[in-house]
Amino acid sequence: MAKTLFEKVWDAHTVRTLANGQTQLLIGTHLIHEVTSPQAFGMMRDLGLKVAMPHRTFATVDHIVPTDQVSEPYADPLADAMIKELRRSCKEFGITFFDRSTGKQGIVHIVGPEQGITQPGTTIACGDSHTSTHGAFGAIAFGIGTTQIRDVLATQTMALGRLKVRRIEVNGKLRPGVYAKDVILHIIATLGVNGGTGYAYEYAGEVFDRFSMEERMTVCNMSIEGGARAGYVNPDETTFSYLKGRPYSPKGAAWDSAVARWKAVASDPGCTYDDVVKINAADIAPTVTWGINPGQGVPITGTIPDPLKASSADERSSIEEALAYMKLKPGAPIKGTKIDVAFLGSCTNGRLSDFQEVARFLKGRKVAAGVKAIAVPGSQGVGLICAELGIDKVFRDAGFEWRSAGCSMCLAMNPDKLVGDQLCASSSNRNFKGRQGSPTGRTILMSPIMVAAAAVTGSVADAREVFGVSAN
């Protein structure tokens, strides 16, 4: 019978059905970082448990590492303690740790693909909701809590209910100046922030066929912001050529048999989905958020919604709450909203192609007076290539601070934070109240190129106008 990739991977990793009806699912690859794993190691020690398959867990530090300080001890003693704790646990349990000294450190969702650890047909778990990123390779990847990290460490399995599969097809051609980030912001604005509850999203169609791996990762990354526990793209030649030659990719004869397996794991023609949604690429505009969840987005040419025009009492109160927090005026154009900070980075848009694309347009331009602009490569690897290509220099010359790898201002558990009610044009994935470190800080999500446009003009701007992106 024709099956989806999700069903094939799920079935291949099913250990058994548990008493409550959930599946005991084998987790092929486990990724950990310094914030959500120390407590899990603590639970392991309390219960006297051993790590079942230490060679299938990989660690790095990203959330709290300072991006402006390289040598230890870090200025924040709590951050320093957490990183040392992870180092100690990895040593004790025999886990590979991409520490800063290895040159391979970075945001966990950037490091996995970069190292070739993220592969098609695998199951992946990580104590971080953006684990869905890895689905870009045709893996089924879940964000999990700390107790589940303990479960995976102790048994290499976890208990989970099977998900339904919704295929989201984006066909046609994206208009110039429209990027992967706009595609996912558009999908979330269309289906809602909880539209994906109970589903894994399969992204497909001509747009995804043409997308690079990095663009696919940007979309899969934000599946969780649409409520979907996982999101994936079927593996194809683009996937295989990305993986070829990476440190953990199969080599020689093993490579050929891996590619054959990976091809076979893709969804079969004629398989059935629980739901199908079709989107026309030409309908997607450069999209920015105006509110306090990632679904509250509008085209850059649009206006800030007016609560009085809301279609329901619910919608009205959510618009009112968002506008009160964001200090934005209903009915006003979103374009022209003054910004204080521009942040380029995160697991959504902190990859090489993001910096490359922005650098193309940023050359010779300057960050507007009064705007603090920071660019943070998602991994040491990304930072290194940017330096080789002179991309860091383009950013510095334009007035950006160029940092070392980490999550930085995406969640501000490190020294990079908004202050007061500063407004940040951000390439990250969450605009929740207080997300960027100040309880009253404000975030507008957008694509990297739109962040650059905001940085150079000092306000939310249409990158197509700022950088003269034409129809060809």
State which of residues 8, 13, 63, 167 lies at the interface with ligand SF4 (CB under 6 A): 63
31: partner contacted, choices another protein, ligand SF4, none (Cβ within 5-8 A by kind): none
When the beta carbons of 235 and 399 are compared against another protein, the nearer one is 235
Give the footprint of ligand SF4 on residues 117-136 (CB under 6 A): 128, 130
Per CB under 6 A, does 346 bind ligand SF4? yes
State which of residues 430, 446, 452, 469 lies at the interface with another protein (CB under 8 A): 430
Per CB under 8 A, does 157 bind another protein? yes
Per CB under 6 A, does 107 bind ligand SF4? yes
Per CB under 8 A, does 193 bind another protein? yes
Unique residue bearing structure tokens 């045709």: 138
17 CB contacts (<8 Å, ≥6 apart)? 23, 24
Unique residue bearing structure tokens 């950037």: 110
Cα–Cα distances in Å, from 23 out to 8, 103, 155, 384?
A: 14, 38, 14, 42
Per CB under 6 A, does 351 bind ligand SF4? no
- Residues 268-301 as b or e (16 or more Cβ within 10 Å = b): eeebebeeeeebebeebbbbbbbbbbbbbbbbbe
11 CB contacts (<8 Å, ≥6 apart)? 3
Per CB under 6 A, does 365 bind ligand SF4? no
Per CB under 6 A, does 429 bind ligand SF4? yes
The phi, psi pair for 442, rounded to 5°, reads -120, 140
The partner residues of 98 in beta bridges, in order of sequence, read 60
Tell me how far, at minimum, the Cβ of 116 lies from another protein, in Å. 11
Per CB under 8 A, does 38 bind another protein? yes
Burial of 444 (0-12, 13-18, 19+ CB in 10 A): buried
**Is 72 within 8 Å of 100 (Cβ atoms)?**
no
Per CB under 6 A, does 344 bind ligand SF4? no
**Cα atoms in the 13 Å half-sphere on the side-chain side of 226:** 29
State which of residues 2, 70, 75, 254 lies at the interface with another protein (CB under 8 A): 254
Write out the E strands in 236-323: 275-280, 287-289, 297-299
When the beta carbons of 63 and 442 are compared against ligand SF4, the nearer one is 63
Per CB under 8 A, does 39 bind another protein? yes
Tokens standing for 407?
Answer: 């999550």
145: partner contacted, choices another protein, ligand SF4, none (Cβ within 5-8 A by kind): another protein
Tell me how far, at minimum, the Cβ of 196 lies from ligand SF4, in Å. 17
Per CB under 6 A, does 225 bind ligand SF4? no
| Three-class SS state of 20 | coil
Q: Where do contacts with ligand SF4 occur on this chain (CB under 6 A)? A: 62-63, 107, 109, 128, 130, 346-347, 407, 410-411, 428-429
